[in-house]
Amino acid sequence: MRIAMIGTGYVGLVSGACFADFGHNVICVDKDSGKIDALLRGEIPIFEPGLDALVASNVKSGRLGFSLDLSEAVKTADAVFIAVGTPSRRGDGHADLSYVHAAAREIAANLRDFTVVITKSTVPVGTGDDVERIIKEANPAADVAVASNPEFLREGAAIRDFKHPDRIVVGTDDERARTVISEIYRPLYLNQAPIMYTGRRTAELIKYAANAFLATKITFINEIADLAERTGADVQDVARGIGLDNRIGAKFLHAGPGFGGSCFPKDTRALVKTGQDYDAPLRIVEAVLTVNDNRKRAMARKVSAALGGNLRGKTVGVLGLTFKPNTDDMREAPSIPLITALQDLGATVQAYDPVGMEQARHELPDITYCDDAYACATGADALVIVTEWEQFRALDLAQVKQKMKQPVIVDLRNIYRPEEMEKAGFTYESVGRGK
Ligand code: UGA
């Protein structure tokens, strides 16, 4: 199959490289010449484990290419994937579809033989209809089918998620489109990944419902964590105890500082808007958004409480800035509102992140960036673990203690055991582990 991938962000680049690895011929297109130049030089614009090697080997084999020229890539393609950004629109929280619509218009002008146009970007219900209308208006003679094929990969585990998905969702009623898409995914269903065919609007809604449900699970356990703290229960055991019930499932029950990232916050907001537009309000998801937003500031108050309720003149070290480990992505990272709240409460903040500091500087210009975790502990009145990078799981506690002004650790990811911390001489606060 010949594939054009429009957009070389997370989803586009990972999907393009994986499709090439399946044996297809893929051209990844982007308007950003800096990005395309970097990719042509072999540089990967995002941090994603394994992606550099995957891109390099498929470029070498000649199956993966990068280009600024959408028209050439589309003209020769059997399938064109739209994987451009759908950020939150400023002001109202709706998904901004201007990049999707622009891509549809450009694709329309370059369609030749039968082509399947597939949205992989996360798009609100009905966007496939818009794309089809835009293409048909711009090029009434086009022999085209428009399908939806949402992506469920997680940053930091993107290649594994792409190659071993729980399911592949394909939304189209068009037989020819189904044939093309099933050919594209053949290597996966040979590996027994279930392919689910459904209507286009249903596929679009599946993506939002999945993300909203996962965000709800996290928010639910976060509130249970607060209750566990006040009642002397342990949220980790509660999560295990409910997660062993197959109807609930063990995943996404890890309490923490609230969810962030490029997907959950934006997608839950957009889903709430769609619900309001269609007069079918999603009250649970609305509550999830409010609870999650408030949580980040509440975490700053937790730090303050650990230092006796006053942060004026105190230095707080923050370990981990990205919204999760194994990514350099700072989009909607909980560290941002948390650090801002610490500063509002009078603290001076110093921080360390293994790969996210360059991105973080744009969001958090007025904190001190440290060279490693120990430098971040130096002179600190409290050390706050915000992102659970592997390297923070086995710190030399004696060294940390010796460098800190006061031995206070606030672990917002529960990566240490209270007993070991107490033994090491720390005042230790974590999430949802009541005493
Ligand atoms: C999420 C979904 O997990 C993917 O299935 C989906 O494809 C993707 O969004 C998307 O729509 O593109 P991602 O945002 O990369 O993936 O990361 P997650 O691992 O889901 O983490 C999201 C946030 O939830 C992070 O801030 C993380 O720390 C938090 N989280 C996750 C918890 O606080 N507790 C948990 O138990 C799990």
* Domain contains 55: yes
Q: Based on the domain organization, do 44 and 133 belong to the same domain? A: yes
Q: Based on the domain organization, do 107 and 251 belong to the same domain? A: no
Is the Cβ atom of 288 under 6 angstroms away from ligand 1? no
What pLDDT score was predicted for residue 346? 97
Q: How far is the CA of 409 from the centre of ligand 1 (A)?
A: 25
Q: Based on the domain organization, do 183 and 262 belong to the same domain? A: no
Q: Based on the domain organization, do 36 and 123 belong to the same domain? A: yes
Largest separation between any pair of C-alpha atoms in the chain: 75
Q: Based on the domain organization, do 154 and 40 belong to the same domain? A: yes
* Domain contains 42: yes
Question: Both tokens of residue 198?
Answer: 């459904």
Closest alpha carbon to 82 in 144, 126, 131: 131
CB neighbours of residue 102 within 10 Å: 14
Which is the closest atom of ligand 1 to the Cα of 157? 15
Q: Based on the domain organization, do 180 and 310 belong to the same domain? A: no
Per the document, the length of the chain is 435
Pocket test for ligand 1, best of 18, 259, 266, 392 (most atoms within 8 A of CB): 259
Catalytic residues: 263
What pLDDT score was predicted for residue 181? 97
* Domain contains 435: no
| Ligand 1: residue whose CA is nearest its atom 27 | 259
Give residue 110's domain range. 2-198
Beta-carbon contacts of 293 under 8 Å, excluding residues fewer than 6 positions away, are 258, 337
Phi–psi pair at 4, nearest 5 degrees: -105, 130
Q: How far is the CA of 422 from the centre of ligand 1 (A)?
A: 31
Is the Cβ atom of 155 under 6 angstroms away from ligand 1? yes
Q: Based on the domain organization, do 183 and 278 belong to the same domain? A: no
- Which of 173, 198, 223 is the last residue in one of the domains? 198
What pLDDT score was predicted for residue 188? 86
Q: Based on the domain organization, do 189 and 239 belong to the same domain? A: no
Q: Based on the domain organization, do 186 and 244 belong to the same domain? A: no
Encode burial over 248-281: b for 16+ CB neighbours within 10 A, e otherwise: eeeebbbbbbbbbbbbbbbbbbbbbbbbeeeeee
**Euclidean distance between CA atoms 362 and 340, whole angstroms:** 13
Is the Cβ atom of 220 under 6 angstroms away from ligand 1? no
Q: Based on the domain organization, do 290 and 148 belong to the same domain? A: no
Q: Based on the domain organization, do 269 and 370 belong to the same domain? A: yes
Q: Is 388 annotated as a binding residue?
A: no
What pLDDT score was predicted for residue 90? 82
Q: Based on the domain organization, do 186 and 250 belong to the same domain? A: no
Is the Cβ atom of 146 under 6 angstroms away from ligand 1? no
What pLDDT score was predicted for residue 19? 98
* Domain contains 90: yes
* Domain contains 227: no
* HSE value, Cβ hemisphere, 13 Å, CA-based, for 425: 10
Terminal CA-CA length for the chain? 59
Which is the closest atom of ligand 1 to the Cα of 260? 26
* Domain contains 215: no
What pLDDT score was predicted for residue 192? 80
Task: State how many domains the chain has.
Answer: 2
| Ligand 1: residue whose CA is nearest its atom 31 | 252
Pocket test for ligand 1, best of 122, 154, 386 (most atoms within 8 A of CB): 154
Report residue 1 CA to chain centroid gap: 29
| Ligand 1: residue whose CA is nearest its atom 23 | 259
**Per-residue tens of pLDDT for the chain, all 435 residues:** 999 999 999 999 999 999 999 999 999 999 999 999 999 999 999 999 999 999 999 999 999 999 999 999 999 999 999 999 998 888 888 889 999 999 999 999 999 999 999 999 999 999 999 999 999 999 999 999 999 999 999 999 999 999 999 999 999 999 999 999 999 999 987 768 899 999 999 999 999 999 999 999 999 999 999 999 999 999 999 999 999 999 999 999 999 999 999 999 999 999 999 999 999 999 999 999 999 999 999 999 999 999 999 999 999 999 999 999 999 999 999 999 999 999 999 999 999 999 999 999 999 999 999 999 999 999 999 999 999 999 999 999 999 999 999 999 999 999 999 999 999 999 999 999 987
Beta-carbon contacts of 138 under 8 Å, excluding residues fewer than 6 positions away, are 104, 105, 108, 109
Pocket test for ligand 1, best of 14, 149, 205, 214 (most atoms within 8 A of CB): 214
Q: Is 97 annotated as a binding residue?
A: no
Q: How far is the CA of 217 from the centre of ligand 1 (A)?
A: 11
What pLDDT score was predicted for residue 360? 97
Is the Cβ atom of 181 under 6 angstroms away from ligand 1? no
Question: pTM, whole model, 2 decimals?
Answer: 0.95
Read off the CATH number of the domain in which 86 is found.
3.40.50.720
- Which of 175, 198, 221 is the last residue in one of the domains? 198
